Structure 1
Amino acid sequence: MRYVTKTKFLSGTALIAAGFLSCAAMAQDVSIAFSSDELGATSYNPVTSSNLNSATGLIYDRLVEQDADQSYHPHLATSWVESADGMSWTFQLKDGVTFHDGTAFNAQSVADWIPDFADTENAYLVAAIASVEVIDDLTVKFVMSRPEPNLLYNLASSFMGIPGSASYDSLGEDFGVTGAVGTGPFKLESFSIGLETVLVRNDDYAWASDLSENQGTAHLERVTFREIPDQSTAFLELKTGGVDLLLGVPTDFLQILKAESNVSVIQMPGTGIHYMPINVTAPPFDNIKVREATGLAVNQEAIVASIYNGVGAPAHNFLIGSLPEAQVDPALNVNYGPDKAKTLLDEAGWMMGEGKVRMKDGVPLTVKLFTQNGTEFTSLTQVVQAQLAEIGMEAEITVFDSSTIRDEYKNNRHQLAVRGYDWNNSDILDWFFSGKRLGYPNVSMWNDVEGQRLNDVAMEDSKNSDERIANFKAYHEYVLSQHLFVPIYQPTKNIAYNSDRVSVPKIVRGTRFRSQTIVDIKVTE
């Protein structure tokens, strides 16, 4: 699938010093602001990290790339063959590829890399690979312990960018922090956690995938990725030249951008949802009736209309609507129902008290509602707070930065939270609801025997794509029946850039705006 860049907006101005523009353009340097859901990465180690960002794909290449139509394209692998029984995959590798440290990429590189996933949070990506056989320098075979119909998707993910084994072994725990070596179009120059990442061009690069127009070295010499938690500040930086491109623009900013003559916008289908996880171990949410009532209090359609001006779509379950596993029994979808919510709270013993706050045994229904900083999340959380108040639940909002809030989750100090994920595959259910991941990413703190059984069947016992869809649909439906979260919104992906400063291809390929497009960007002034 291809996304077409929208035409440049027609009115307004932005002031940037001419001398700055001239110098920066000559150097082919750009500055990019991460989207709010990419903030907080503490490492560029794709093997061990649970939180990566768009810079990762510029450092590391993958064997396979995925386009937005779910098709798979060669990258470091030029072709592949799956055996009829699904018990082996053989990959032919691209010749002439080198890592940033000058070592060659070959079949042994793949054989050295797969075992590194053992005992990490990302081990599930390669769990079905029993062993790796080096057939020859450019041929590698995965011998499977079971069929894995999701293997190509896994191989195309950011977590399966291939690191250089020599550097990986020598740097140890510092890999991805003080240094990071891949085969990608850019090299890591510096990484200041929570502030910025600076990449410089890999001048030897000549092996882009067919999702990029540019098949040689990147046009840009240097890319600085900045972490700007407040989206209003990021928007101002775009207007005034502090950044050239925003990877995430809140939907409510789109109308404002129409006043900027030098700003162009790309809108892509979203690959995730905004939702409110419920901590099932924290009273009163250990009562399923209270959890169900909480979900019924949220008016998804009103939120889309009021906050997002009708852009995007309401979310009624945990998966993006384009996935077949999202097509669950309609009775299980979460919809607005305040009258039923009030009845359920009455049944749970929470009766309306003075001040329109419910009480039980003399205790008010006052709960903690966490969110991460950033204009979009704070605005959304305030609306959710008001909707919860309508059923007699008083929610007290606390705003955290993206790193600190994960510590709160891991230490089980939360009750409700408004957050989002970006992932276009049903195995996100395993990530957020497996009992093996309590605290983070399993923010709901759900550890259920039947849930884990369904999880394991979906993840490990699917022999083909049809079985996998059926198994994940069953797991998804069970998760919904337990009221572990409240789905809210399925956003579009909005990317804005200074079209006086940089040139972005009219055709954008891939599921997200990432490395395959960034290597095509040019500085124009």
Structure 2
Amino acid sequence: MSFKTLTMSLFAGTMLAGASVAAPLQVAIDSSPAGLDPHLITAFNSVVIVQNNIYEGLTAIAQDLSVVPALAESWTISEDGKTYTFKLAAGVTFHDGTAFDAEDVAASIRRVQSADIASPLASRVTPITSINIVDPLTIELGMDAPFAPILTSLSTVAIVPAEAETNKEALQQVPVGTGPFKFVEWQPNGFIRLEANADYRVAGKPSLEGVTFNFVPESATRQVGVTSGQYHLLPGIDPATALQLQGQPNVTVEETRDLSYTLIGMNAERAPFTDARVREAVNYALNRDEIIQGALFGAGVPAGPLSPALVNWAIDTSEYACYTQDVEKAKALLAEAGVTTPVKVTMPVLPRQDVRDIAQVVQQQLAAVGIEVELVNQEIGQFVQDWRNSNFDMFASANGGSPDPDEYFYRTFRTGGSTNVFKYSDAEIDSWLDAGRSETDAAARKATYDEVQTKLACQGPAAHIAYGNYFTAVNAAVQGFEIYANGRLTSLVDVTLN
């Protein structure tokens, strides 16, 4: 009996018995990803496909946002906090059949650090100054000073084959990882198909035959598909879609507080946003509650620099004076900065419905203080390219959050940070961020990041808008799915279909 015949026989038998089946999971997303290289991608539709499905890191983030082992089974920390020794899982292979070992870990970290690769993750591993391969399954990472968030940061650095270290193109179209699902096919404007990794390091996992990510631009089509069972999962849906699917037969809308946030970015090297008073004026012009009601149907809370989900870190937004809308104050600040109104600027908009809706409300609110905004709608590839090249006056977007403040703040607001597309530079912020990543005392770190939040909230280059509720629509055939606040589909490894 062929493998295909055997699979079909098992499928029929389990369907008759009403048990779970090892069938492909059908996921619907709104567009094709811009690429699949885990060290280069930034867009949601890329990340949701590759992270934790195709690729794994040394560590992983659990549903409660704690750090857990992944490709590293365990680790020890030196007494001075500067050296971490990782014991790697044995018997792991990449999807191309090659063995995984410490050299792949070393090459992956060097790749993310490489200026030629220009990874947006680079700031997360810059403190690593030495890499010592002790043996094929043991690796030491050394630093010149303690780096408090290292275990969290390493969860975001996918391990790729060592052969890809200097190749910037190979993994964008054909990813090769160690995760529970391996890449099979990419049909442009159609789908990306993954199949179960039969040699996955966790025995008996995954239960699914595979996962197909279907590119379905029309929201209505995705909604009909998940209710009919054509699609099993709609990850990261906007609040309007979530509202429409609530109570629909055969569908559950899973919900959690999102670590991701929406924002209005400002180019600190382009007038008038070179002046901190102008950036502060933008914040005073905004009414975040109105934006949340109008664009997110009330499903969210005003966003400070850190998500309220990070209960040990985030300052309540009520403490920020600029979060109380004051049109006259905004006009006064613009006048102090010497800005003649009306001033005209352009704003590229991330092609996502909630962000488009937010941008329209922001456009109206800024017009009231004399900032006339032209919205520029782009496809995702062009938006990401302009974002990375700092080719904007302002932009409207969404960004993924992190369990540790350093992961967001350092790469985004540190001078020269790997995602500091704002071209923002502030010596005081730099000194706080340097201290925050090397400080190991929890109370001292908290005090440092309180300073960072307070300054960035009103005068930084990002006007944080909202932390929404993160929604995923799940068809009744799906069992074992768990929603993660970081937006990853980590639980697919445990999912079955009835």
Q: Same fold (TM over 0.5)?
A: yes
Mapped contact 2:85–2:141 kept (Cα < 8 A) = yes
Contact 1:35–1:248 at 8 Å: present in 2 too?
A: no
Number of residue pairs the alignment of both structures matches: 470
Post-superposition offset of 1:382:
1.3
Match of 1:282 among 241, 246, 270: 270
Give the letter aligned to residue 486 of structure 1. Answer: A
2 CA distance for matches of 1:143 and 1:284?
43
Instruction: Tell me which residue corresponds to 1:354.
Output: none
Equivalence for 2:34: 41
Match 1:303 to one of 291, 296, 308: 291
CA contact (8 A) 1:206 1:216 kept: no
Query: Are residues 1:474 and 2:451 paired?
Result: yes
Structure 1 CA distance for aligned equivalents of residues 192 and 328 of structure 2: 49
Q: Distance in 2 between matches of 1:394 and 1:405?
A: 21
1:319 aligned residue: 306
Does the alignment pair 1:405 with 2:420? no
- Equivalent in the alignment of 2:150: 151
1:435 aligns with 415
Residue by residue, what CA displacement relative to the aligned partner does 1:378-414 show, whole Å, maximum 9, x if unpaired?
1111111222233343322221122212333345442
CA-CA distance at 1:35 after TM superposition: 7.2
Q: CA deviation at 1:267?
A: 0.5
The 2-side partners of 1:27 and 1:79 are apart by: 31
Q: Summarize the alignment of residues 328-477 of structure 1 with structure 2, pairs less than 5 Å apart.
A: 330-331=319-320, 334-348=323-337, 360=340, 364-424=342-402, 425-426=404-405, 427-437=407-417, 441-459=419-437, 461-477=438-454
Alignment match, 2:4: none
Q: Of the candidates 158, 161, 164, which is equivalent to residue 161 of structure 1?
A: 158
**Structure 2 CA distance for partners of 1:182 and 1:340, relative to 1, 3 Å:** same
- Name the residue aligned to 2:256: 268
Map of 2:128 onto structure 1:
129
TM-fit CA distance, 1:494: 0.3
**Quick one: which of 260, 285, 292 aligns to 2:280?**
292
Give the alignment partner of residue 58 of structure 1, picking from 46, 53, 67: 53
Amino acid at match of 1:134: I
Distance 1:510 1:105 in 2: 27
Distance 1:283 1:194 in 2: 39
Quick check: 1:272–1:319 contact (8 Å CA) kept in 2? no
Are 2:71 and 1:86 aligned?
no
Q: Secondary structure at the match of 1:55?
A: helix
1:334–1:487: 8 Å Cα contact kept in structure 2?
Answer: no
Residue matched to 2:194: 199
2:10 corresponds in structure 1 to: none
How far 1:74 moved relative to its partner? 1.9
Mean alpha-carbon deviation: is it higher for 262-271 or for 125-134? Answer: 125-134
Q: 2:320·2:454 contact (CA, 8 Å) conserved in 1?
A: no
CA–CA separation in structure 1 for the residues paired with 2:372 and 2:169: 44
- Does the 8 Å contact 1:230/1:374 carry over to 2? no
Q: Is the 8 A contact 1:298 1:384 kept in 2?
A: yes
- CA distance in structure 2 between the aligned counterparts of 1:68 and 1:248, rounded to whole angstroms: 16
Q: Give a deviation string over 1:179-211, Cα, whole Å, max 9, x none.
A: 32221111111235676422111112242xxxx
Task: Quote the Cα distance in structure 2 between the aligned partners of 1:376 and 1:288.
Answer: 28
1:136-285 equivalent positions in 2, closer than 5 A: 136-157=135-156, 160-166=157-163, 168=164, 172-191=167-186, 196-207=191-202, 215-228=203-216, 231-239=219-227, 242-285=230-273
CA contact (8 A) 1:113 1:162 kept: yes
Relative to 1, partners in 2 of residues 1:76 and 1:199: Cα closer, same or farther, differing over 3 Å? same
Decide whether aligned partners of structure 1 residues 332 and 174 sit closer, same or farther in structure 2, where only a CA change above 3 A counts.
same
- Superposition deviation, residue 129 in structure 1: 2.5
Q: Flag the 1:65–1:288 CA change in 2: closer, same or farther, 3 A.
A: closer
Contact 2:264 2:395 in 1 (8 A): yes
The CA distance in 2 between the partners of 1:123 and 1:466, in whole Å, is 27
Query: Is the Cα contact below 8 Å between 1:325 and 1:476 reproduced in 2?
Result: no
| Range with bigger deviation, 373-382 or 227-236 | 227-236
Displacement of 1:164: 2.4
What TM-score do the two structures reach when normalised by structure 1?
0.80
Give the corresponding residue for 2:493.
Answer: 519
Structure 1 80/402 Cα, relative in aligned 2: closer, same or farther at 3 Å?
same
Cα drift, residue 464 of structure 1 = 4.5
Partner of 1:487: 464
Instruction: Tell me: CA distance 1:289–1:174, structure 2 relative to 1, closer, same or farther (3 Å).
Output: closer
Q: SS of the counterpart of 2:240?
A: helix
Q: Secondary structure at the match of 1:296?
A: helix
Paired with 1:474 and 1:193, the residues of 2 have a C-alpha distance of: 46
- What amino acid does structure 1 have at the position aligned with 2:58? L
Look up the SS of the partner of 2:195 in the other structure: strand
Would the alpha carbon gap of residues 237 and 389 (structure 1) be closer, same or farther in structure 2, given more than 3 Å must change? farther
Q: Is the Cα contact below 8 Å between 2:280 and 2:458 reproduced in 1?
A: no
Q: Deviations over 1:106-164 (max 9, x none)?
A: 3343344333333243333322333333334433322332211111101222xx12112
SS at match of 2:237: coil
TM superposition shift of 1:321: 1.8
Correspondence for 1:505? 480
Letter in 2 for 1:55: I
Alignment partner of 1:321: what SS? coil
The correspondence of residues 27-38 of structure 1 with structure 2, limited to 5 A, is 28-34=23-29
Residue 173 (structure 1) shift = 3.0
Q: SS of 2:384's equivalent? A: helix
3-state SS of 1:173 partner: coil
Q: After TM superposition, give the deviation of residue 253 of structure 1 in Å.
A: 2.4
Deviation at 1:90, TM superposition (A): 1.9
Query: What letter is aligned with 2:150?
Result: L
**Unmatched runs of 5 consecutive residues or more in structure 1:** 1-20, 208-214, 351-359
- Shift in Å at residue 430 of structure 1? 2.3
2 CA distance for matches of 1:468 and 1:191? 44
Equivalent position amino acid for 1:505 in 2? G
State the Cα distance separating 1:247 from its structure 2 match: 0.7
Which deviations, in whole Å up to 9, do the C-alpha atoms of 1:416-456 show, x marking residues without a partner? 2221111223131222223325xx83343323444444443
DSSP 3-state at the match of 2:192: strand
| Unaligned ranges ≥5, structure 2 | 1-14
Give the deviation of 1:71 after TM superposition.
2.1
| 8 Å Cα contact 1:294/1:388 also seen in 2 | yes
The aligned residue for residue 105 of structure 1 is 100
Distance 1:161 1:258 in 2: 35
- Does the residue aligned with 1:373 lie in a helix, a strand or coil? coil
Q: Distance in 1 between matches of 2:141 and 2:390?
A: 39
